Amino acid sequence: MKTHLLNSCRKVVKLLSSSKKVAIIYHWDCDGVASASIISKLLKSKAFFHIPKIGHYSLEAININLLRSLKPDLVLIVDYGLPAKDITNLEKTLSTKIAVIDHHVNEPIGGCFCNPVALGLSEYDYPSTSWVIRELLNVKYLDLYVALGLVGDLGKAINYHRLREWVAKVCKEHNLSLSEIFRAVETINSCYRLIDYDCIDYARITLTEIGVKGVLSDNVLFKKLSTVKEKLKEALERTELSKDLGKVKVFTLTCEDYFTSIIGRELAYRFRNSIIVFNNFVEKLGLRYVYVRSYSYSLREVLSELKGKGLSVGGKDQVFVLTCREECDKEISMLLNTLLKHVGV
């Protein structure tokens, strides 16, 4: 089924076209930035932007006063897996229509909620929010932005995905290589990894106004990427295998910056036949992230079960993250027991 055929998605399109002022809450990673840029190019001057508090997925991450001051007639949440109850509460708090375009596993809610994965469709068919937007809004002329978001979410797994040839074709049409798209992804992602909100906004504006080649040639963003590369090399060297449970491998690291996903992806790629659990305490945020990813196992049932147990967890079919403050031995134990049960160990 195509996204635009879903009734709740049609409602999003209708609201976007009829709204005069749209406040966009977007995820801080490359797919979120690319998706926000696509929407920005469509809505032009009637779009305003807000980045939630990095590393948090709750109503507390949203600047309510800022949104109120903008006086939008629509708040659009893009690629940000805010829990359904928080979306409902946000709508009540602001007394403003809320619409969602996303692809993370979440509880479906009524109204203007365009998330094919939450509505029961496969994440394999909807691997990025940018791809959902492509289907929903028929923005094929912005396919390079879509490809950027796609590679941003899939990472090296794009090499084994059905859309790899499509991405290669789009790159060729724009005289870019796949390696340059990877570099643009890492350049944009360097902003949130350093927990730099101004940089995230700067990257979105640069991408919107100048495009992918503009991102690749920008000196400000290049310096951010260089800083990340230097710090990341040291962080990877300190990442330890703390438990080898056969199909499940547990790694640990304490670091300053928000390197959870980039290190987690690298570990999952190295151990493609396993499930990796990356226990990462990020000092700048004062939070512990337990990042779980696998390229061989579906994690949706594990994610659903952990949500049902009340854990602060969110993600997609092949990746999810448990968020804790300081230590969370009990939660990690529950996570590992649930994982081992599902993989038959």
The more confident residue out of 168 and 325 is: 168
Work out the pLDDT band at 5, boundaries 50, 70, 90.
low
Give the per-residue pLDDT at 342: 87
pLDDT in tens, 312-329: 888 888 899 999 887 789
Evaluate if residue 277 carries a pLDDT over 70. Answer: yes
Evaluate if residue 1 carries a pLDDT over 60. Answer: no
Q: Which of 69-83, 106-120, 187-201, 208-222 bottoms out in mean pLDDT, i.e. has the lowest?
A: 106-120
Distance of alpha carbon 40 from alpha carbon 73, whole angstroms? 16
Q: Which of 3-17, 173-187, 321-335 bottoms out in mean pLDDT, i.e. has the lowest?
A: 3-17
Evaluate if residue 3 carries a pLDDT over 80. Answer: no
Looking at every residue in the chain, the average pLDDT score rounds to 93
Domains of the chain: 3-221 (3.90.1640.30), 239-343 (3.10.310.40)
Evaluate if residue 222 carries a pLDDT over 60. Answer: yes
Evaluate if residue 2 carries a pLDDT over 80. Answer: no
Evaluate if residue 345 carries a pLDDT over 60. Answer: no
Q: Which of 29-33, 254-258, 338-342 bottoms out in mean pLDDT, i.e. has the lowest?
A: 338-342
What does the pLDDT average to over 8-29?
A: 94
pLDDT in tens, 242-264: 999 999 999 999 999 999 999 99
**Residues above pLDDT 90, as percent of the chain:** 80
pLDDT in tens, 125-149: 999 999 999 999 989 999 999 999 9
Give the per-residue pLDDT at 4: 62
